Amino acid sequence: MPVPVLEISIPTLAALPAAAVQVREALQGHSIVCFEGEMGAGKTTFIKALCETLGVPSRDVSSPTFALVNEYRDAHDQPIYHFDFYRLDSPTEAEQLGAVEYFDSGYLCLIEWPSRIEPLLPSNRLLIRLTVTGDESRELTITS
């Protein structure tokens, strides 16, 4: 069982920016970051806050549910890839999308619903689990 690297309590939506800064610091050395949590746990909302800390304008960040992948640019004009694999039926669909090439690019890949493409994921990745603890509160756990 993976050991938590960091646990963050998010009591309200107002605490998201501070939590995102902590997560940004934990990303060092990782380009693949997987986000797990039940539907409505706030994965996309948290990714939006995280991207803002990386210099992506918040208006640019949205759920890639239908596009499957969105590309953003950080403050250094480097790409950030945001995936949502909820709608996929098999890892083969992600392969056809070119997901492995994105993962191998070395650029930051933020992945929602990674369990749907588990066989394609590199072993060197961070897992961020968002757990609903109240109407606005969440517990965020990072494991590697």
Q: Could you give the CA distance from residue 128 to residue 121 in angstroms, rounded to a whole number?
A: 14
Residue 4 is predicted with a pLDDT of 60
3-state secondary structure of 84: strand
Q: Which pTM was predicted?
A: 0.93
For residue 52, the domain's CATH number is 3.40.50.300
Give the pLDDT score at 140: 96
pLDDT tens for the 144 residues of the chain, in order = 555 678 999 999 999 999 999 999 999 889 999 999 999 999 999 999 999 999 998 888 988 877 899 999 999 999 999 999 999 999 999 999 999 999 999 999 999 999 999 999 999 999 999 999 999 999 999 998
The domain tally of the chain equals 1
CA distances from 41 to 37, 53, 57, 139 (A): 6, 20, 22, 10
CA distance 109 to 59: 19
Domain that holds residue 109: 4-143
Q: Return the CA Rg of the chain.
A: 14
Cα–Cα distance measured from residue 62 to residue 89, given in angstroms and rounded to the nearest whole number = 22
